[in-house]
């Protein structure tokens, strides 16, 4: 939490505009609320025994028929919507972050191998990447999720669903990391310090991990920030389509899907508030990610 609190001051020192600072503060606030959901949520939306159908579909507390116990109203199961959103945001951020971490690890590893060894290794990895890029992200994620659910009977349960979603999202996103790291590695490999390391007989692993890797990580960090928003949005899309988290352990996408069934019945709050939270989170992270990309890539800096 101390690191999160110091992040806005870091953006100020880097000369970020006020819009980026506000976006960073907003994104950190949402992430902190999600991480602290167990302590700040009024109710536990995962405790099925606490649900009371008599409280189902209550409007927000600030409306004429609202109940002050439920600030943003309740869903069709009588679950407090604010608590469900806090827990759902934690699920969405955890899955998005896990997908980014897995994609970055796989992509950086394969990019290093392709850029350092070249030849057949490079050709093989890049052709696999081309095949993966020929599939749209959502279509490939649906394919992976469907295969996993067919092979593993418990894939739709709350225990396995996050793992399946992380793998389904990461299997498409690693290509961007691999291509970026490959290009940077090819540049670094041609430099004198790498040639000197080869001449003195340093092991390949040490050259790649100790000398090349630290010099190619800057673009990876920028890509990770942008891809976090994309991963959260992809998870929400999959959950909205019914192949994500189960309703008993909802993510933001699951809540939107549940609320979408009641929009035309006048029960607008079940879909509206989770959708606003998702849009706000994705927009804030995207603003920060775009600024980081411009900040660390001189060719993309906007001239003022």
The span from the CA of 133 to the CA of 226, in Å, is 18
Give the pLDDT of residue 274. 92
The span from the CA of 219 to the CA of 148, in Å, is 32
The structure's pTM equals 0.85
Give the pLDDT of residue 189. 87
Give the pLDDT of residue 77. 84
pLDDT in tens, 205-214: 888 888 888 8
Q: State the helix-helix crossing angle for 18-35 and 2-13, rounded to 10 degrees.
A: 170
The b/e string for 21-35 (b: 16+ C-beta within 10 A; e otherwise) is bebbebbbebbebbb
The span from the CA of 125 to the CA of 82, in Å, is 45
Q: Does 127 score more than 60 pLDDT?
A: yes
Do 124 and 189 meet the contact criterion of CB atoms below 8 Å apart? no
Residue 259 has a CB neighbour count (10 Å cut-off) of 21
DSSP string, 179-207: HHHHHHHHHHHTSHHHHHHHHTT--HHHI
Q: Place 238 in a pLDDT band, splitting at 50, 70 and 90.
A: confident
Question: What average pLDDT does the segment 130-137 reach?
Answer: 87
Question: What average pLDDT does the segment 109-132 reach?
Answer: 91
Which tokens in the block code for residue 77? Answer: 């199961």
Q: Does 129 score more than 50 pLDDT?
A: yes
pLDDT in tens, 45-88: 877 777 777 888 888 888 888 888 888 888 888 888 899 999 99
> Domains of the chain: which residue ranges?
18-46+78-297
Which tokens in the block code for residue 161? Answer: 């669903």
Residue 292: name the closest of 30, 102, 25, 17 by CA.
17
Q: Looking only at Cα atoms, what is the longest distance across the chain?
A: 78
pLDDT in tens, 144-170: 877 877 777 665 566 778 888 898 899
User: Which class does domain 18-46+78-297 fall in?
Assistant: mainly alpha
The angle at the Cα of 118, spanning 116 to 120, to the nearest 5 degrees, equals 140
The residue with greater pLDDT, 46 or 38, is 38
Distances (CA, A) of 107 to 28, 135, 246: 26, 17, 29
> What are the helix and strand counts (H, E) for the chain?
12, 0
Of 15-29, 41-55, 169-183, highest mean pLDDT: 169-183
Q: Place 303 in a pLDDT band, splitting at 50, 70 and 90.
A: very low
Q: Place 280 in a pLDDT band, splitting at 50, 70 and 90.
A: very high
């Amino acid at each position: 939490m101390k690191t999160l609190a110091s992040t806005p001051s870091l953006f100020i020192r880097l000369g970020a505009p006020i819009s980026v600072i506000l976006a960073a503060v907003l994104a950190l606030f949402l992430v902190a609320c999600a991480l602290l959901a167990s302590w700040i949520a009024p109710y536990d939306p995962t405790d099925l025994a606490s649900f009371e159908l008599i409280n189902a579909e209550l409007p927000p507390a600030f409306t004429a028929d609202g109940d002050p116990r439920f600030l943003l109203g309740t869903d069709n199961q009588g679950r407090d919507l604010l608590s469900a959103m806090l827990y759902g945001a934690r699920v969405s951020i955890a899955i998005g972050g896990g997908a980014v971490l897995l994609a970055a690890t796989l992509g950086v590893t394969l990019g290093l191998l392709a850029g350092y060894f070249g030849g057949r290794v490079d050709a093989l990895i890049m052709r696999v990447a081309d095949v993966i890029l020929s599939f749209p992200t959502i279509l490939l994620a649906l394919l992976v999720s469907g295969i996993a659910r067919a092979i593993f009977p418990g894939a739709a349960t709350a225990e396995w669903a996050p793992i399946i979603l992380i793998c389904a999202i990461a299997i498409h996103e690693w290509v961007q990391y691999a291509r970026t790291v490959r290009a940077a590695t090819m540049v670094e490999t041609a430099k004198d310090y790498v040639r000197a390391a080869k001449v003195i007989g340093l092991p390949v692993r040490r050259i790649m991990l100790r000398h090349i890797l630290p010099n190619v990580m800057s673009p990876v960090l920028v890509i990770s920030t942008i891809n976090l928003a994309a991963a959260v949005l992809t998870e929400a899309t999959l959950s909205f389509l019914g192949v994500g988290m189960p309703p008993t352990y909802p993510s933001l996408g699951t809540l939107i899907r549940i609320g979408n069934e009641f929009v035309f019945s006048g029960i607008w709050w079940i879909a509206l508030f989770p959708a606003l939270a998702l849009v706000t989170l994705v927009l804030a992270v995207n603003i920060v990610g775009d600024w980081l990309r411009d900040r660390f890539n001189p060719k993309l800096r906007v001239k003022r």
